[in-house]
Amino acid sequence: MKSTLRTIGTYACAMALATTFAACTKTVAPITDPPNASAEKTPFPGGASITPRDLTATYELPHEPPPYDPSLSRQEFARFAWRQFIYLNSPARPNPGDKGPAGAPPVIRAEIDRSRNFASSGDPNFYQSGTGGNTLGRNHLIWETFAHRSELFPVKSPPTGALQYLYPQYALANISVGKELARFNNLDETTQIGQNQIFFPRNDSKPSPNPYDDHMILFEAKVNHVEYNYIRNTLGKTYPSTTELPRHIEFPPNKGNSDLPAGASSDEESIEVKAAWREMSDGLIKSGRYHTAEALYYVNKSTEGAPSGSKIVPRVGTFGLVGLHILRKTKNYPAFIYTTFEHVDNLQKSGNPKDSTGLYVVTLYDTMNYNPSIKDPQAFVNAGNGQLQTFTLPTEGTVDLDHGYPIIPGSFNLPSGFAGPIKVGPSHAMTPAVQAVNDEVMKVMNSMPEFNNSVWKYYRLAGIQILPVDEDSPTVPVNNPGGLSPLTEDFYLANSVIESSQPGIQLFKGAVSDPGMRGAGKYQLLNERSMANIQQVRGLPLTANKVVMGGCMGCHGNAQYPRANGETGTGPTIFNFLTTQDTLSGKGFEVEVRPTSIAEVRKRTQVYMK
C-alpha cells in the first residue's frame, strides 16, 4: 500500500484537490483549544493525567465525558479510554459462597473486587492462581464475566436469571456446552466478522503451507449486565416469537424513548466488548507478557476418519489476550464511544521493530470490487498534525499482488474462494495524542514496583472514536474550512488483530456486502464506501445523522434493527451486530469451528452485514 502526506487548507483548496492532487501545498495547523481555553474548558475528570493512584486504587468506571466541545483535547479522551481499560481489567469480585442461588459461579459477575486492583490482575499467573477447587476458577477480569453473546440470545429460549449469579450457560444452534467445560471466555468466532481468518506463524515468521497448522486468533463478543437485563426485560413473554418481535431495540441509556415497553427505559450505560485471543505456545505462556486464561474453543472430530462424519467438539485451552474493543453508550455519546487496545507483540516479536511476527490473514473471498466503481481508491487519514496521509487502497479485481495486496510469496494450500496469505500491517489510526498518553501511562507503570512483572505493560491504546463525522477528504469540503477536524483523527479506528485486511475493515468506511449478500458474488467482497451508515440516531444533532463514518463506529453503524427489507437500516437502533431478526426470534448463534485442514473449513455464517 502506498501512502503520501498531503496538507489541506481552505474549502477552495479542498475542491481544487478534487481534480488535481498537486494543486494545493498550504500547510494548516490542526484545530486546537480556542483562545482563553483554560477559563472556558469543560470539566472532564476522566481526562486528567494518569497517576499511580489510578493504577492501584479500587477503581470506579470513569464517568462519561462531558458533551463534546473543541476545548476537550484528544489526550483527555485517550486518558478516559485508559481509565475504562483499568476498570474493566480489574479483578471481578469472588463469591463468598452465600450470594445467589445454589450453583452460582465462584465470582459475582460484572462486579469489581474492592480488595484488589488493576495491579493484582497484572500478575502473569492471575487466572491460574485462582483455579484451585473449581474448574471455572476464582480469578477473572470484570469484562470476562460479562454475558457472552449466546447468553444474551440463547437458542430457542429467552435469557433467564440474574447475570451476577448465573453460571456460564452456552446454548448455541449447533452445540450446547456442559457445566464441566464451561469457561467465561467462549471463543466461538474464528473470523473477523466473516471476512478473514488471521494467524501467527508457528515456525519463525513464515506462514505454514497449511495455515491451519499455525496459531489462529479466535474471538468472542460480550455485553454487560445492563444490556443483558434490557434484553431480558424487553423481550418478556414474546421471545422466541417470530410474529411479536419488538418494534425497536435501543440499548440504555434510553430515557425518554416512548417506543420502549413500560419499565424498559434506563439511565444505566450499555457496555460491549470484543476480544481477540491467540493460541499460545508454552514459551509465550511462560514469557509473562500476556494476560492468559483458559477458554473454550471448538474443533471437528471425525468419527469415521472423514470430514463428512465429523462432529463439533468443545475443547479447553490456554489463550493469550491480543486485542480488546470496548464500546460504551452514554447520554452524551449515544452512538457509543469506541476504544480499542492491542498487545505490543502483535506485529513485532518482544516489541523488537526489526523482528516481525509474520502475522497474516487469509481472506474468505478472492475478488473485491467497489460499488460504485472507484478507479483510484484512496483513504485520507488525519495524522493529527495538520496533514492528511493518503493511502492507496487495493484496486478492483482479484485479491493478489497485482491489485495491491501484500501477498506473502510461497506455496500455500487454501480453500476454494479464499485468498492470501496477506501480510498484516499496523493500523493507521494511531495519532500523536494517543501515543503521548500511552507513553504517559507506561512511565507511571515503570515507576511503580507493583508493575515490575505486570502483563499490562505490554498493552497499548490504539485509538478512540466518540462522535460520527465525515472523512476529511480533498474530494469533499473538509469538516472545518480552517483546518482538519480533530474528530477525524480516529476516523479509521482499527486494531491490527481485529480489523486486519485492507480495505475490508482496517481502512473501512461506508458499508460492505459480504460474499453472496446484497448483490455480491459467491466469493466477492463488495465495498460501498459512499453509503451513509449513521442515520436516525436518537440524541445526535441532525448534522451528524447522515454520515459516511469510518472505522469501528462506521462498521457498527451498519447493524440496524429493524432493517428495511433486509437491506439498509431504518433505525433508530444501531451499533449492535448481535440484535437481528434471527436472534430475536430464537435462532441463536452458531459456533465457528477451529479447522485443522482446508477440508474442515465450514460454510461461513454471514451474520454481520445482512
For residue 609, is pLDDT > 50?
no
Q: Which residues pair with 463 in a beta bridge?
A: 340
Write down the pLDDT at residue 599.
82
C-alpha–C-alpha distance, residues 503 and 500, integer Å? 9
Write down the pLDDT at residue 478.
54
Write down the pLDDT at residue 383.
86
**168 and 134 in contact (C-beta within 8 Å)?**
no
16-20, 83-87, 153-157: which has the minimum mean pLDDT? Answer: 16-20
- Rounded mean pLDDT of 531-550? 82
pLDDT tens track for 5-60: 443 332 233 222 222 222 232 233 333 333 344 446 789 999 999 999 999 987 78
Average pLDDT of the chain to the nearest whole number: 85
Write down the pLDDT at residue 233.
84
Write down the pLDDT at residue 240.
61
- Cis peptide preceding 159, ω within 30 of 0: no
Q: Is 121 helix (H, G, I), strand (E, B) or coil?
A: helix
Q: Which residues pair with 279 in a beta bridge?
A: 319
Q: Rounded to whole angstroms, what are the CA distances from 103 to 65, 97, 135, 169, 315?
A: 39, 10, 13, 12, 22
Write down the pLDDT at residue 135.
87
Going from N- to C-terminal start, the domains of the chain cover 3-34+46-600
- Rounded mean pLDDT of 459-472? 94
What percentage of the chain carries pLDDT values higher than 70? 83
pLDDT tens track for 260-276: 555 455 679 999 999 99
Contacts (Cβ under 8 Å, ≥6 apart) of 285: 292, 318, 320
For residue 103, is pLDDT > 70?
yes
pTM of the complete model = 0.91
Count of C-beta atoms within a 10 Å radius of residue 180: 8
Q: Say if residue 354 is exposed, middle or buried (CB neighbours under 10 Å; 0-12, 13-18, 19+).
A: exposed
Q: Is 411 helix (H, G, I), strand (E, B) or coil?
A: coil
Write down the pLDDT at residue 9.
34
